[in-house]
Structure 1
């Protein structure tokens, strides 16, 4: 009888600790979300690494994106992607080609506009390790997709404990692929050109670009 009582006590304490851990993670993510939403615009310069040792894949590149509301413009893997609020324009200078598509209807698609807020829905979360990175305290939160059919196993989100800005994202897929995004520079409320999120089709046509509409 004593053993049963001890087991029940341990289970109860474990569940209570997990609930408190989860609540702390939720509060931290809410702080990050509210901070992001308080800015008029955000500029992020980042390092991107894709690795799958078993498949012999190791890709590394640098990227940058400017966000304002749902609109964004980013440079990544030698191409530029622009979303003006209704259409997505992918500009590939190497091929002298522009692809124009309607906004993705997939609500689960992780677009640049969602890269700083994607964690808001669809995940269970708990506090993970706290790291010291060059004097900065980086608190990691572990996110696990609620959808069991998701191709993502876990996501570790590293958050600067002082600024509440995202510093690092480590996504581990069920196929063994690890994607790591590390923020090199995070700037807010920058002066932006009124035409930054406007696609000038005539300019690209005059430059000899092939325009593809999907």
Structure 2
């Protein structure tokens, strides 16, 4: 069994990771206040919208030199419209368009909750579009050469003083117009980085790809939250 603090950390990680991939799949033309940034983000939006589905393998790292924390994890996610299947830190999170299923093998537990469109904390690609349409200032940032790839960064700065994030850097591959990484810097010195290792599109998916099958978890406790 995992402790309450471990559960809290895992929930925070899952939320951050989902937020990033929701950005990848949603229209993000509302991001920009800078003409160059808007032009690039519009290209990213058009490219992403042309895909039926996206399959991504990624690396997630968290660092805080003040607290002597340095953690890394790997995961994968499949996105199709608002539906997603995320595997990360030993947990599977599935959204079938109506309900969210969180499967934790370590606890032999499945939590099921309804998706509430009015919940500001609910995460889906379309919801992330609304979230990022306000609350940030955006700036054209540095261009880096990463293993022969040109990565252009756009800096997002929260306008609310209550936001615990100092800034977010969104890295975009100039050639493919795919999002390469996201670097989030917190006011408490924490730095989280999510890097895309593999980006595949229009993969053949099972018709049950986003369907929860209870019979696969015969000994699990099914926790219906609502």
TM-score range normalised by the length of the shorter chain = 0.7 to 0.9
In structure 1, the residue matched to 2:205 is 192
SS in 2 for 1:27: helix
Gaps of 5+ in 1: 1-20
Q: Deviations over 1:146-178 (max 9, x none)?
A: 333222111101100011000110001122111
Q: Deviations over 1:102-144 (max 9, x none)?
A: 22544355x4747996885232211111111111111111111
Quick check: which has more Rg, 1 or 2? 1
Task: Provide the TM-score with structure 1 as the length reference.
Answer: 0.82
Within the candidate set 156, 176, 180, 1:167 is matched to 180
In structure 2, the residue matched to 1:4 is none
SS in 2 for 1:149: coil
Within the candidate set 79, 86, 96, 1:84 is matched to 96
- Alignment partners' CA distance in 2, 1:153 and 1:187: 31
In structure 2, the residue matched to 1:23 is 35
Q: Deviations over 1:167-200 (max 9, x none)?
A: 1100011221111001000001111000010001
Kindly indicate whether the alpha-carbon contact (under 8 Å) linking 1:157 and 1:169 is maintained by their aligned counterparts in 2. Answer: yes
Q: Deviations over 1:4-59 (max 9, x none)?
A: xxxxxxxxxxxxxxxxx821112111211222122110011000001111122221
CA RMSD of aligned residues (A): 2.3
Kindly indicate whether the alpha-carbon contact (under 8 Å) linking 1:26 and 1:125 is maintained by their aligned counterparts in 2. Answer: no
In structure 2, the residue matched to 1:5 is none
Within the candidate set 148, 157, 164, 1:151 is matched to 164
Task: Provide the TM-score with structure 2 as the length reference.
Answer: 0.78
**1:210 pairs with 2:215:** no
- Alignment partners' CA distance in 2, 1:172 and 1:91: 29
SS in 2 for 1:144: strand
SS in 1 for 2:216: helix
SS in 1 for 2:34: helix
Gaps of 5+ in 2: 1-32
Alignment of 1:98-117 (within 5 A): 98-103=110-115, 105-107=118-120, 111=123, 113=125
- Alignment partners' CA distance in 1, 2:195 and 2:128: 12
Within the candidate set 37, 40, 45, 1:33 is matched to 45
- Alignment partners' CA distance in 2, 1:115 and 1:23: 24
